[in-house]
Structure 1
């Protein structure tokens, strides 16, 4: 998949899915599906996801927005779907002041040469979000696909909307099952292993400290059962992960540490892809290292029992 920042490099004409697509969740994939190569009848069209950098909300608030899928993760997820090119429009003052009509003419028609479009039902564009799907339909007609609101029926009697916002809420509560269902895949943390204080080794539970992108949205502080993919291992490895400040040892900064079951070897500088499987408990402060060690043993057993049920 080609990632395009320079509009002169775009392969045209295009079939586009238009949106922010943070997380590339179930709803996003339904928006993207109609423009994938296998769905297109015209081989001359290039399947293209058109998104914005930075996120429009980040531009207007001037505050960094935490993302379910930072740039590298989004690229990897779209590539897996079979998207041919990702066009990132620079969301700046010039783009923000374009009217809906100007956005259609300058971006969609002149720059992208759009032939087919797929969007979500609530997609808006142009200055003050004045443009909507009706404006797109007036030009593209039946070449526009509008995906209706996507919901999912889970344990709750009321269906829940599939949205990035609801995924964030679920992660903040430690509701991993719900977040994973809305994503259609396990929520994951991808980062390199860096040097830590190596306290885990002293109590018999060595951990790998992850260096994550600063924009990555972290779930609730606490302990999780996880499945870890490492390039040096032919199969996933189970383990437990702690996210938090480590109050028992007077930690002063949030860290993400993974303890792997049945693993020996040096992990420094290796990239770990950690899938969240189950929330075990919130972070807490213990009276001693012995008490902490006893709780970690219990956490590991809880995780192993859960993985045994899944097997």
Structure 2
């Protein structure tokens, strides 16, 4: 996957219909270069993609990948979500007829689209030992959770609770979809919206296990991670829907999935120092977990508030 000559780059620019521009990681691709190379050769196939230098955006080197179909490009982005797009429209100095003065500060900022789970299944069972509890996830590996990935949630199953996997991203409001593909909504703030109200009852609420979560530090600057100050167990206040039929990825066509997202709220001082607009709704007490899973929304909805100022700490790496 060596860089091609400039004439070949011009040929590929004219020939390939789909392209994505990526930021080179701060420390380079390293061993991931070989991983990406093998994936492209095996999954996309030689001759069906091209790789070229993409110049520099906001002081960061970039590369451009060319594909023959949107499905191939979507598959690559799903396989390597940690490789950030070089979205120059988010940087100072960008303007267009639609944005003559550029984007407002903070516009399009992601809100917690990455978190980590290392809580064991046995630990979760012990947290809910007073309830009938069914573990249906099989072998749960600890690690980072990205949008559209399957992750553990705790939800109702008749008279019991069950630990299952669901896909991160609730159905999007139809008004925001430009194509048949629905990438999903990872977090929900406006609970007064008619789109979300249908999933606010106890039957659709869930708890999302989390041990640490990330907020972006800005384009090209990585993430700031947060964890409980006392290492106490935490859950995001989630909502879920089962058996939803949609097109999540063009290459997969229509699929039927159990989906989830979690609520956000105004940030406390700890998170607000990094992300001024929002933070996830985090529940740390057994009484809160029970209220979220079972109380009417007039009561449970009061949990959509910032966590106490001293309840979180900043950490360098996920735990």
User: With structure 1 as the length reference, what TM-score do the two structures score?
Assistant: 0.29
Of Structure 1 and Structure 2, the greater strand share is in: 2
The higher radius of gyration belongs to 1
Of Structure 1 and Structure 2, the greater helix share is in: 1
